[in-house]
A and B are shown apart, each in its own frame.
Chain A
Amino acid sequence: MSDATGSNTSTTTGAEAAAPSPPRRVVGRRWMLYAPLALAGGACLGFYAMLRGMRSGSYDPRGVPSALLGRAAPEFEVPPVEGSNVPALAAADLRAPDRPVLVNFWASWCLPCVAEHPMLMRLARGGTPVFGINYKDRPPDARAFLERHGNPFAKLGADAPGRVAIDWGVYGVPETYLIDKEGVIRWRWAGPITPEVLDNDLRPLLRRYA
């Protein structure tokens, strides 16, 4: 207010001082014109960044971040997949493995699992222990899947009721967890492991926790 009265007294002193008054008011209102434009521009940038992230896969608005990262793998008990001849997975296998291991939730009825299967095979051939949990599946279907596409799993458990998956925070198959040598979950990938995910994300992590 004191500022406003000061300008008043100065403008009354002469005609030349009265002149600056109207332009000052225009400058004061100009932000009303530019603020919405700046806001729209900012929104454009934000949306652009989001869309770019969605395209490159670094941002997924539907992705559920895992609550288990940095925590020990949960306790669980699963029977083997009947007739598969693959030893059953036990929680003890994940407590202190001598190298980082992967736990993969999959099902024979899951199409993305077919897509990612070659990556699991590649990992297993490279010497990374891949453990499987067969989610809500029938043993004959699971066996047929492994016969047809190959078996990457060093150990395999069956979670027909889907309760173990819930203990892991799984919300769809396939999902893959990386467990380090201390038995701590370090990484979770929801969705199929693509060759890009394998090379850009998983391999560096396997080296880091080796």
Chain B
Amino acid sequence: MKRVLSAPASAVARLIELMFRGIGRLAPVSARDVRSPEALRTFRSVCQSGYERRGVPGLLREGLRECADLGWTVLTARAEAMPSPAFPSLTPWTRDLRMAWRALRHSRTSGAIAIATLAVGIGVNAAVFSVLDATLWRQVPFQHADRLVELWNFSPAQKITFSGLPHRVVPEWRRQTDLFDRVEAFGNQTLIYETDRGAETVEGAVVTPGLFELLGAGASRGRTFIAGEGQGGTNRVAVISDTFWRERLGSPADLTRIELRFSGNSYQVVGVMPRTFRFPTGSQEAWIPYDVEQPPAGGPAVRGLTPLARLAEGVTLEQATAEVTARGERVAAAGGGPPGITAALSQLGADVEDRTYTSLWVLSGAVGFLFLIVCANVSNLALSRSLSRARDLATCAAMGASPASLIRTTVLEQVLLASAGAIAGVGVAAAGIRLTLAALPEVMTAQTLNAIDLDMRVLSFMVLAGLTAALVCGLPPALLAARSSINSAVGGDRRSTTGSRHARRFRASLAVIEVAVSVVLLVGAAVMARSFIALATQDQGFDTRGLISLRVGLPSIGYKDVALRDAAAADIVTRMAALPGVAGVTVGGLPSDTTFITMGKIEFADRPGELTPQVMIPVHEVPPNYFATLGIPILAGRTFEPGDPEGSVIVNQRLAAKYFPGGDAVGRQFRMPGKPWRTIIGVVGTTLANTESGGGRSEMFYPVGKAVDTMRPTMPASAIVDFRTFIVRAHNPEQVMRQLPAAVHARDTSIVIWKTALVEHLLAEAIARPRVVFAMMSVFAGVGLILAMVGLYGVLSCLVAQRRQELGVRLALGAGSRDVRRLVLGHGLRLTAIGGALGLLAAWPLVRMMRSLLYEVDPADPLAMAGAAAIVGATALFSSWWPARDAGRISPVELLRR
């Protein structure tokens, strides 16, 4: 008995049958049986049997194979039906296809340029937009993504939002069932992965066991956590990432035997997440369960948790936002959270950092413009190819080819070209996405929760857009040329066989557009270049040459007491200083690292009653030699000395200038309300705080061990109790860098080396984002410029070909070849000038959008504008020169002989 098709199956069946019939319609007479009702019935039987064996997939499989076979049959039948040249019973389409193919092979160079142009346009756009789609537009790839929100701390007084709640607050949020269906939580944690070869750090996260279920994410091997895991006794299990499983473990099939040591404890691996799973960021490689209701006893409390909640059905984001802020303080208080702090929420994945956002938009704008140039160029090339073939077409028309056939040939040629371009474009896209991912710095890609890959929807869209663009832009000029050639063949007007007046105008305006758009790109790139150079060469406020930064983690075993940590750090400093080639060692990190902060209103001893507004000032704990080692100048007073009175502080120039504008900050006293008085003993130079945006900030320096009244970052529950960063200045930094770990381990092998790097490299890393935007913009602008110049060259050489007779007559009547050259050059430069002016006008508002990415450069930077104009002018002159030279070499005698 026949199984009746289900609704989706019958839809699929109908679709496939449509395809089958469509292909069948292309069959030549010799294979006409394939479109008979009988063949169709057989086709249906085959599909039906596929369905009966394997359901819809079986149906699809059989159906597609049938179609493929039919396609092949039709093709071979057509090939057999293709007559030999001596046998002129060609079907019109095949004949025209052959004509088109021949024509393409004839104008190989311009065809290849058109294909390459299209391929670049499609490929680059697909790559950049795939990244953009994953980071900005696509919803996060989790179940009920539109209802997933993250909860933050919100301080209404300071108007700041920050993450990290104590674990007991999470159950309190779970009780707000009118707002949330479900509340889980996670906290990022750096784990120390211990192997026989030594310890390394791995980005991980503690998560409540239900988190994976909330996300709707399953393991690709094994399982995720089950309820009840993450309590005392059940917390020694872990889920690992695909990368970890593959690269560190060598993809073992049997998970049950894998025990990993993280931060001093051993964990049983229970599952591996799929490659595409990214949560909380793309860097996480291991997840450890943590039950907030019954946390494992004995361990330190986890403080840095972020709740992830699913809004209850029917609750809008606005309602939830208002309610969360209203209830936040009460909920936090019930769970032992800090007083005066309420909560805020944000949709999961909606939080893209501003600079990343703008950078990606600017890049997408740039590739969009590039695509515009591509379109104009394809159009231009199509026209020039058609024009160069006008004679052939005219001959064909004269020999009896119908206008329809001529147009068909032109269309087919364009279709062939577009298809080749699209296929090549897919290749460029595949390479492009790798390049883009390799080029984009981690700050721009780590945060997105979507897997970044070449997106098939984006790619198909771009291929479609490319095909459409090639046809839409390529057909009118081709048809224009075809029509004019037919007219000319009929009218016998030889002089206008190289293009009508319309075609000429059309081409000229295309060249103008290309020049204009490439000017926009160039201005963008030039502004970015100026900004980047300013960033890369800015004065850091300290001497970065030969500086090494080494960050270590102190284990909680043995370093519970702060005094012990300080002693160990002092000892390590002495050991490092003894290494050959070391000029100075200090501890306390780079000025741009934020370790501690002090917050509140400042009160001054000599101005009683005066309070500053609420401020937040970074505080560094440093030894006396810190400033000398880093090369930060001491502008007034002195550095710390042993026996300094309690409350001695050094401030930077910026803070001194802000609160003690008289310039005599040394000796003055200030305090935060309720805290002891602080006496300024020295003022030091301001260093750069943020390398990417530039500028300094107010900072304070306390002697080691004296910053007890500041806010410190809370350490997540881990085996590391504290971090110390050593700064070493060396004459031979590369060699010294290799010896530093040994110097640390000579003190204690249990100290974990976190990160060792040359400070100059760190600073280069910090400006990776502007560098990438700058680099990519330059590449796009360069490609755009080349394309525009190809277009301009095409226009001018065509013009010369077109006006050959006229130019010849001019030469014959006594015009010098100089005059003729000037004529052509002038035409090219006129077009360039119009395009350039339009481009500069358009660039003005567009480049303003890049304002937030720029450092010390005005978007309307005259130098960048002038530079772009100069580059375009120079290249235009170059590409106009060759046609002009040709024009100058026209021999009137030869022309007359023709």
> Are both chains from one complex?
no
A contact residues vs B (CB 8 Å cutoff):
none
B contact residues vs A (CB 8 Å cutoff):
none
